[in-house]
Amino acid sequence: MSYEEETVDGKPFYVTYTALEGEADYTHFIEVPEDHYPIPPRLDIDPWEEAEKAKHAAKGAFVCVLMPCTKVDAAGTRTGRGGGWYDQFLSVVPAAWMRVCICFEDQFSTEALERKAWDQPVDRIGVVNRSTNTVTWHETHSRSSDFDLVSL
C-alpha cells in the first residue's frame, strides 16, 4: 500500500499536543483535520494507555505524531520535561508512525545531545522562528526510514 492510499487527501492521521508555555505551536503551519487524536496536556496520563487509544483512533492509517521538546538535535535526539512520557509512548506505537518534533530556534541544537538507551529519536524537526512564525524542516534519518516525501 502506498503512502497516498494510507492517508486521507494525501495527509497523515495526526496525533497532536497542546503547546504549553515554552513549547512551539504547530497550528500556524500544519493544518490538522478535525479527525485527529489530541494527547491531553496533563502529566498524570498513562503513556501506554494513550498509545493504545491513539492506535485505535488511527485505524491503520499513516500516522504523524507531533510532539514538543525542550531541546532537540539534528540527529533527532530530543529532551522534554524530564519524565520520559513521549519515550514511553513512542516505544509501543507502530515503528512506521512518523515522529515530528516542533521546536523554537533556540531549542534546536547543532551539537549532539546525549542519547540514552530508552530515548526514542524523531524523524523530522520543525524549527519555528518566533518572530515570523515560519518553520524550517530538518530530516534526521535517525531510524532508517525516509519520510522526505511526506507532506505535512
Task: Confirm if 100 and 65 have CB atoms less than 8 A apart.
Answer: yes
Q: Where exactly are the structural domains of the chain?
A: 3-139
pLDDT-derived band at 9 (thresholds 50, 70, 90) equals low
3-139: CATH class? alpha beta
Write the DSSP symbol of residue 142: T
Over residues 18-43, the pLDDT tens digits come to 999 999 999 988 999 999 999 998 87
pLDDT (0 to 100) of residue 7? 44
CA–CA distance, 30 with 133 (Å, rounded to integer): 12
pTM of the model: 0.89
Residue 148 neighbours by CB distance under 10 Å: 10
Task: Starting at the earlier edge strand, list the strands of the sheet with 78-79.
Answer: 78-79, 71-73, 108-109
Does 35 or 3 have the greater pLDDT score? 35
**Average pLDDT of the residues of the chain:** 89
pLDDT (0 to 100) of residue 8? 47
Answer whether residue 5 shows pLDDT above 60: no
% of the chain beyond a pLDDT of 90:
74
Ramachandran angles phi, psi of 106, nearest 5°: -75, -5
